[in-house]
Structure 1
């Protein structure tokens, strides 16, 4: 990491960008193209103001910039600093702009000098900017340089031409496009602190250049789906998704998720055949259940039943089994077959409360917490934070172990394979060592030590704002280690599926060293599937859990 220093250090952003380039040159020389190597070499040869301006633009939103909005004290004259960038082809000075791009760069007052008369004639002089743009789009279809739109006195405009290059650099460094350059700033300010993990210089997110290319291609498809685009755009995006599975399990997970999302898009529009094709070729854990539902909507009941039975022989997870078991009686009935044996139910203890609505209480969970709380039996709102937090604190060493391909940059709150198949198997011995402490009482010391030593360090399991020392001590005193072992085992068995759905509240009786978890349901609210699964598991293993149903008094 670059050495932390109080911000603003004038060129902190440039130092961070150079750190990434150096990192990639050291770890990815074989995956960089001649063009990418050339950029790094030529970038280093520029004067610092020009390098700084390019990085400023690369880290800002969009690719169009007005020179009069690029005023940075450490850079000086942006026009002078941009000249070498334009000569290198990394920015384009005064590109032709569509009118929608022009409207994105300038205010209504700026635009009035060019379009005021036409807008006034149309009665739109005081209309909103969007309305004005919609009117002018048909009248001004051609792209023009800004001087032709606003006159020769307008300040230069620049279009950044290295957006894709910077996106590729960012992807190779972080291993994803979810994180960006702000990670450096937040870390330097001390707002985010990350665990220091020892990993070798050879540790990297990608091993093949084709993997980077495939990731970017899938990302573009995902952007289309995120925009809820028209069917033609979605059709094109789906056609761009490879029909054959990737050998790289990480990319295959992304491909499967994209096909699943495309299937959802088609299903919402009642395009059953397209949805069926997407679900059929997706390995997403929810795809088969949705495929069964689509076949049912097509009245292909025998096909739906056949697929449901096949999936139930080897369900992807508990959630898939639950969905298919719910559909099975209906499909059997549709096919004229006798109903099967109903699954065993583990109903929770029921707690009924009639509470007058308190406008100042906020959520119904807060009302129940106030009602149940006693000096001898405190109640905490924890939802998913307590069990996840205790697990993270006990198993910290296993989670942050320097397993190959798990850590490859300094800003990771979890190993890269956390939600992928094999996460537990690759660390089985490490987790066994951590969890064995539940057998002899050492777990309390480990959890307390990590709570103190790791306070504030980013960890996907620990929400430091929700876990304080009082809650921690009550939990260690009142929750038996055998119960923690059961809870942790289920969490570790399917982190993606089981890290949510835990009860809202927990109540402790310290004098008796006992507790109960409480799921709260307000009027008209029902248990969600993941909540039902957690409740059934707890009841099956003797873990105390109640469902509190809140009613309002009759008017």
Structure 2
């Protein structure tokens, strides 16, 4: 084999990189959130800074690991040294403890199988039991609680339990504005794994403006966790409560959670509770679900009245599509006029019989079958049009508005999916879209593709948007079509980023293209795909639906 070029070495972080990053976040919070930090958080920051370096490092290691219980013999960090020496100041402050009570189930998660066997009386057949069975044996014999050293007095390890995890979670929430991102974002950025757009942040750039907002977010998060952990849906609804939130962003998050809970209640056939919660939620799609429940309960007149309200003022294309179907069903039952089907122009149809099934999927089978040197085909799905949109409108998307960016690790503005996202940036978006009028968009998109390569953004799949694909798209896609696609995206970024045709074929000599939605045997068009196909066909964009059968 020919010699392969050596890959550049991956840069290694400094031994205490995680401690430096955590301290950087604490400094950031003191600069921007000092008025929202409570006494306990301020005391934590002050005491943390005064601790020995090894103790600070150990605490951050525990904060970043899954806990809250940690065996000392499993804490091995060369840069920290003796774990017990590092732990002593943390024990004195009460930030960790060795005396946390454990039941048999909690203890069993911390012990190996042979360690569990040592706690049980030697009886016949015990060695054949699996670990969960051994834990059950231990629980039946010793149902109470005790500290680790009480359970295992002869064990050489000590057990440390983190007691400030909840406090540090609150600090992480203030820094990131969410609990989705973690402290590892720092090192991933330092290593070049992730790159983020550097947006100018003012001293008052922050995600929360008052303590009530922080508490409200954490309450919603706990309710989400309770649902994920299997708490009965009705109990989660009770935990959530119905007290209104003054913060519009948190109100939107609450409405979405209420919709999720109502959907689960509907699946559980608790229709009265689901109907009430859908009505309270008002989240997008809730009205259509109410119509479905009323239909299911044979309350056709109430359902029909709700359909009429939706037709008069639909919240989006998706709702309009669904309530038109409901109108036709209900009108027949109630003897009302049935609205005609207005699907617009239809996409052209291709039928293919190909050898298969293809190991990489039906889309790749069609791609290989249709592609040629003169007319290459690319599998793009939802990546090409949003990618071009993201490059052309980069400065509008990352425009530093208040409440949009508040830390260095944003892949998108915090209000990306809010109803007024486009409205707040209308001037910036119009300036970007104006480039489509004078062909300057070609050079602008190329320049952005080079400058922003690899930066995190929800619109661009860098591995798919190659230079070859970019050049063919700029050569063959007319500006008028780009303008229509981009404006449709802006109308509803959450919904309209999905459902685009799978393939695109370019004809460079003729400077034209066609898009192809691929459907394999037994597959059919989804509603969002139908809406995109109808939009393209309505505006004279070449789009086709390809149905594939396997010859074998």
TM-score range, shorter chain: over 0.9
Provide the rounded CA distance (Å) in 2 between the counterparts of 1:444 and 1:131: 66
Q: 1:230 to 1:93 in 2, by over 3 A?
A: closer
Displacement after TM superposition at 1:312 (Å)? 2.2
TM-score by length of 2: 0.95
Residue 158 of structure 1: aligned partner: 160
* Aligned partners of 1:36 and 1:165 also within 8 Å: yes
Q: Which of 62, 82, 93 is 1:88 aligned to?
A: 93
**Matched residues in 1 for 2:105 and 2:268: separation?**
30
Counterparts of 1:444 and 1:112, CA distance in 2: 70
Moved more, 54-63 or 130-139: 130-139
2:38 paired with 1:36: no
- Cα deviation for residue 116 of structure 1 reads 6.4
Residue of structure 2 aligned with 1:220, choices 216, 219, 222: 222
Task: Name the count of aligned residue pairs.
Answer: 543
Q: Which moved more, 1:131-140 or 1:258-267?
A: 131-140
1:529 maps to 2:543: no
For structure 1, list consecutive stretches of 5 or more residues without a partner in the other structure.
none
**Correspondence 1:130 to 2:132:** yes
Q: Secondary structure at the match of 2:44?
A: helix
**CA deviation after TM superposition for structure 1 residue 213, in Å:** 0.1
Mapped contact 1:197–1:407 kept (Cα < 8 A): yes
Q: Secondary structure at the match of 1:392?
A: helix
CA RMSD of aligned residues (A): 1.6
Deviation at 1:19, TM superposition (A): 0.8
User: Do 1:517 and 1:546's aligned partners in 2 also have CA atoms closer than 8 Å?
Assistant: yes
Equivalent positions of 1:2-151 (< 5 A) are 6-115=11-120, 117=122, 121=124, 123=125, 125-151=127-153
TM-superposed CA distance for 1:246, in Å, is 2.4
Distance 2:442 2:12 in 1: 39
Instruction: Give the TM-score normalised by the residue count of structure 1.
Output: 0.95
1:263 maps to which residue?
A: 262
Q: Counterpart in 1 of 2:5?
A: none
Listed as ranges, the gaps of 5+ residues in structure 2 are 1-9
Say if 2:472 and 2:508, in contact at 8 Å, map to a contact too.
yes
SS of the residue aligned with 1:281? helix
Per-residue deviation, 1:544: 1.1
Deviation at 1:344, TM superposition (A): 3.4
Deviation digits for residues 216-264 of structure 1, max 9, x if unmatched? Answer: 000011112223x242xx3232123242542322101110111111111
Is 2:404–2:413's contact at 8 Å kept on the other side of the alignment? yes
Structure 2 Cα separation of the partners of residues 483 and 239 of structure 1: 49
SS of the residue aligned with 2:505? strand
Change in Cα spacing, 1:208 to 1:242, as seen in structure 2 (3 Å) is: farther
Q: For residue 4 of structure 2, what is the aligned residue in structure 1?
A: none
- When residues 390 and 116 of structure 1 are mapped into structure 2, their CA distance, relative to the original with a 3 A threshold, is farther
* Secondary structure at 1:61 match in 2: coil
Match of 2:477 in 1: 479
Cα distance in 1, alignment partners of residues 394 and 92 from structure 2: 51
For 2:419 and 2:137, locate their aligned partners in 1 and report how far apart those are by CA, in whole Å: 53
Post-superposition shift, 1:489?
0.6
Residue 396 (structure 2) pairs with residue 398 (structure 1): yes
Distance apart, 1:129 and its partner CA: 2.2
Cα distance in 1 between the residues matched to 2:231 and 2:315:
32
Name the structure 2 match of 1:494: 492
Match of 1:379 in 2: 377
Q: Distance in 1 between matches of 2:206 and 2:425?
A: 19
Question: Structure 1 residues 78, 424: CA separation in 2 closer, same or farther (over 3 Å shift)?
Answer: same
1:348-359 matches, within 5 Å, as 348-359=347-358
Q: Structure 1 pair 284/134, CA: closer, same or farther in 2 (3 Å)?
A: farther
Q: Are 1:196 and 2:195 matched, yes or no?
A: no
Deviates further, 339-348 or 282-291: 339-348
Aligned-residue offset at 1:311: 2.1
Point out the more displaced range, 250-259 or 134-143. 134-143
The corresponding residue for 1:421 is 419
Rounded Cα–Cα distance in structure 2 between residues aligned with 1:127 and 1:529: 52
DSSP 3-state at the match of 1:193: coil
Q: Please, which moves more after superposition, 126-135 or 374-383?
A: 126-135
Query: For 1:264 and 1:132, how far apart are their aligned partners in 2?
Result: 39
Match of 1:412, SS?
A: coil
Q: How does 1:237-256 map to 2 (within 5 A)?
A: 237-256=236-255
